[in-house]
Every structure is written in structure tokens, then in C-alpha cells.
Amino acid sequence: MITDNRRAIATRNISFLIVALVLGAMLSLQWNSPSPPTSTGHERATDLAIQRLEAEQEELKTTIARLRAELDAYQQQSTARTKLLEEIKAQLAEQKLYAGLLPVQGPGVQVVLDDGAQRVVSLRPGDYLIHEYDIRDVINLLWMAGSEAIAVNQERVVATTSIYCVGSTIMVNDTRLSPPYIIQAIGPSDVQSEVLRNPSYLRDLKDRVARYNVQFKVSKTSNLRLPAYAGSFVVRYARPGR
């Protein structure tokens, strides 16, 4: 009986020993085996922040590229508008030049017309005087000779200029002028001078020069300065078309 008890105790102790050995081996294996990698909450937050920043950076790059393309387009449009504006300004200045609205300078001739100083017996007192038609005839010849700008006593002659006589007074652009009448014309001075001295032109004026000392002098000038037309343009019948 005692022997059976001892056997039972020995068997139980051996069982406990085996269990203890197994547990110890399992614990030893678990302790030595590498633990699987884990990420902390801080690392996850950092990764998410980096991903968000990278996405924002890509979006900013796309926006910058789009804005640069728009800026290039605006600059091209601005350059085109600037060129167009410069062309319009140049055309406007050219038309103003043709219309006599700008002061000009250049070579040409100067013509001096003045009443006769020496009174010679004549049945017509007007033979000693310079008339408005004398001025018109000289100006027409100057235009024919290629003149580009003409002024009479610093009154610029334009397309609407009127030259007429009121009593003994000559009016140019509705401005009262008195002799001597100085006509300045910018253009080819050799041609201008030749045309004015041609005996086929201005016969009545040149006859009065010879007979009644009326003054008619032509001289070439290297640099004339003519003012711009200072009057207004009166439009009576014309109106903008549609």
C-alpha cells in the first residue's frame, strides 16, 4: 500500500516535472523569437502628414504650371495689343501730318509777296497791290511742284483753308493778314523754284512786278519750320456712316 502511494507520488512529480519542462521550453522559445514589427500611433500620423504634404505639393505644382501658362497667354495678348496700339498711333500721327495738324520742318522755298513801293501812274489802283488770287495762284503752283506743307504768315494751309479778300484785307483761315505776305513751303526746293520762275506761270503777277514794283521774291531755304493748323474743321453736311 505504501509502495503504491509512493508510485503515485513519483508519477505525479514526474508529470509535474514534464509539464514544467515543457512550459519552460515554450517560454524560452517565445522569449528568443523576434517580435513582429509594429508601428506606433506617432509614426502613422507622421506618414499621413507626409502623404498629405506630398499631395498638396503636387497640387501646387499643377496650379503654378496653369498660372504660368495663363500669364504667358496674357503677356502674348498684351504684346499684341501694344503692337496694335503702336500701329494705330503711328497711323494717327501720319494722318495728322497729312492733315496739317502737326508742326513740321524741312527744306523748301520762301516766297515774299508785297505791295508796290513806288507809285506809277495807273488807271487801276489795284495794280500796285497783292491780291488774294495772287496768293492762291502761288500756293497752287507750290502744291503742283510737290510741296508737302505750306503756310502763309504762319497760318498753315490745309484742305479747308479759305483765302479771300474783304475790302482791302486778305483773310486766311479767317485770320486777317497784312503785307508782306510770306509764303513758306516745304518740299523739293529745286522743283518749287523752277516752277515759280517759269514764265508760263503767274504772268499777271510778274507783269505787275515789272511795271508797278510789286514784290515777288523766291528763295531756297534749307530748314523751314511751319506751325500746325490751329483752326477748327467745320462739318456741315457730312455725318458718320453706318
> Do residues 75 and 117 share a domain?
no
At 18-39, the pLDDT tens digits run 655 555 556 555 545 455 555 5
> Do residues 123 and 135 share a domain?
yes
> Do residues 121 and 184 share a domain?
yes
Question: Does the model's pTM come out above 0.75?
Answer: no
Domain membership flag for residue 74: yes
Residues 173 and 152: their CA atoms lie apart, in Å, by 10
Rounded to a whole number of angstroms, the CA Rg of the chain reads: 54
Domain count along the chain? 2
pLDDT given at position 164: 93
* pLDDT of 119 higher than 70: no
> Do residues 133 and 190 share a domain?
yes
Domain membership flag for residue 36: no
Residues 84 and 76: their CA atoms lie apart, in Å, by 12
pLDDT given at position 11: 58
Domain membership flag for residue 190: yes
> Do residues 167 and 184 share a domain?
yes
Domain membership flag for residue 2: no
> Do residues 91 and 146 share a domain?
no
> Do residues 95 and 173 share a domain?
no
Domain extent for 78: 49-99
Domain membership flag for residue 215: yes
Domain membership flag for residue 19: no
At 153-207, the pLDDT tens digits run 999 999 999 999 988 789 999 899 999 999 999 999 999 999 999 999 999 999 9
Residues 1 and 122: their CA atoms lie apart, in Å, by 191
pLDDT given at position 208: 92
At 104-118, the pLDDT tens digits run 999 999 999 999 876
CATH code of residue 157 = 3.30.70.1880
> Do residues 109 and 134 share a domain?
yes
Count of CB atoms situated within 10 Å of the CB of 47: 11
> Do residues 93 and 123 share a domain?
no
232 with 100: CB under 8 angstroms?
A: no
> Do residues 64 and 152 share a domain?
no
Residues 119 and 125: their CA atoms lie apart, in Å, by 9
Task: Give the up-direction half-sphere exposure of residue 93: CA atoms within 13 A in the CB hemisphere.
Answer: 8
> Do residues 92 and 199 share a domain?
no
